[in-house]
Amino acid sequence: MAESPTHTDPQPIDAILSDVYRQSLAADVGSVADYIPELSKADPANMGIAIATVGGQLHTIGDAETLFTIQSISKALTFCLALERLGRDAVSQRVGVEPSGDPFNAIELHPATRRPYNPMVNAGAITVAGILRDAFGADAFEIVHQRFSMAAGRTLSFNEAVFKSEEETGHRNRGIAHLLIGAGALELPADTALDLYFRQCSIEVTAIDLARIGATLANMGENPVTGKQVFDVTAVRDTLAVMFTCGMYDYSGNWAYDVGVPAKSGVGGGIMGVVSRQLGIGSYAPGLDPNGNSVRGVATFRALSDELGLHAFDPTNAGSGFIRTFFDRNTGDVRL
């Protein structure tokens, strides 16, 4: 009698994932952010990757369930909410969409417009927090938290210690908020806008959550697992465009060139990538490079983009390598 199989060949995506994971672990560990004291407690050896498809499938490796704070990745999502609430034109009057070529925490405005360069740097994100606080009043954080949770498909936790730590030490962000007020870009008291900004940064996620949120954006704003429409379709398009050009701080040009996937990183060590209409990718490795991007996260995305043909302008794959490799044209399923 034939033995029942005890081992099945790994699915192609899992084999690729474990290869990429091994390669990324070989990259430098980087340095954990310590300018927010509480962040320095992260374990630099942690590393996890998750891929979530628009079909609802999930593939993970490593520490994909370790919690960390979302930090600047929140900037992409709050920008999306602001666009949705106020519309593109009103938001454009408050914040630009031009890469700054300067560090994320630069104390500067665009010299001609006197507005922040873009919503992915701190000045822009604090302005967006002001817009949301104006629009939603004291409920703003609850609404932000609820939408982030809907995008992830579960109720996300909040890290009070990181919030307090940043609130106590965030003098540079206070400086930026006052610059914004002086320029007329922010109409609220600095602490009111910053309270929302520090809170949104302190929402906790895992690499799986980032992949799921990314898949929601990839799926035109509808969470592929819950089927709920989380974000407005047009706002998603505009958000992805700004992630593509400004999402990786002062490395955004290189990132677009080498990886070619709209993405956003945070100093907590996360990176969220979106391959439109295909998948979301989340990575976590808290060691950062001098730009503030996760060293092993960048290595992960570079390798995944190569292996899966994810670059938006890849000449052989035309941005649909993943679908081409795994999409079954007869059944419409993505075979993973």
The DSSP secondary-structure symbol of 38 reads: G
Token pair recorded at residue 243: 């992630």
State yes or no: is 72 an active-site residue: yes
CB of 30: closest distance to ligand GLN in angstroms? Answer: 14
Q: Tell me the C-alpha distance between 158 and 27, whole Å.
A: 30
Catalytic residue chosen out of the listed positions 75, 252, 265, 294: 75
CB of 270: closest distance to ligand GLN in angstroms? Answer: 9
State yes or no: is 35 an active-site residue: no
**CB-nearer residue toward ligand GLN: 201 or 281:** 201
State yes or no: is 75 an active-site residue: yes
State yes or no: is 257 an active-site residue: no
Q: Tell me the C-alpha distance between 92 and 320, whole Å.
A: 31
CB of 281: closest distance to ligand GLN in angstroms? Answer: 18
**Strand runs (DSSP E) across 34-140, as ranges?**
48-53, 58-62, 68-69
Q: Tell me the C-alpha distance between 268 and 154, whole Å.
A: 20
The DSSP secondary-structure symbol of 315 reads: T
Instruction: Find how far residue 320's CA is from the centre of its chain.
Output: 21
CB of 296: closest distance to ligand GLN in angstroms? Answer: 16
292 binds ligand GLN (CB under 6 A): yes
Picking from 50, 110, 35, the residue whose alpha carbon sits closest to that of residue 290 is: 35
Give CA angle at 186 (185, 192), nearest 5°: 165
**CB-nearer residue toward ligand GLN: 75 or 94:** 75
Catalytic residue chosen out of the listed positions 117, 197, 251, 284: 197
3-state secondary structure of 59: strand
Q: Show the binding pattern over residues 51-90: x = contacts ligand GLN (CB under 6 A), - = does not.
A: --------------------xx------------------
Q: Given candidates 60, 105, 165, 192, which one binds ligand GLN under the rule CB under 6 A? A: 105
100 binds ligand GLN (CB under 6 A): no
Q: Given candidates 60, 78, 118, 173, which one binds ligand GLN under the rule CB under 6 A? A: 173
Q: Given candidates 63, 166, 238, 307, which one binds ligand GLN under the rule CB under 6 A? A: 166
Sites for ligand GLN among residues 209-268 (CB under 6 A): 266-267
Token pair recorded at residue 74: 């929140």
**CB-nearer residue toward ligand GLN: 105 or 278:** 105
Catalytic residue chosen out of the listed positions 20, 21, 24, 72: 72
**CB-nearer residue toward ligand GLN: 177 or 310:** 177
Cα 243 to Cα 25, 27, 60, 119, 333: the distances in Å are 26, 24, 23, 9, 28
Token pair recorded at residue 333: 């399923």
User: Do the Cβ atoms of 128 and 145 come closer than 8 Å?
Assistant: no
Residue nearest to ligand GLN (CB): 72
27 binds ligand GLN (CB under 6 A): no
Q: For the chain, what's the residue count?
A: 336
Q: Tell me the C-alpha distance between 199 and 162, whole Å.
A: 9
Residue type at 315 in one-letter notation: P
State yes or no: is 264 an active-site residue: no
CB of 333: closest distance to ligand GLN in angstroms? Answer: 37
Binding site for ligand GLN (CB under 6 A): 71-72, 104-105, 122, 166, 173, 201, 266-267, 292
> Which residues are known catalytic residues?
72, 75, 197, 249, 267
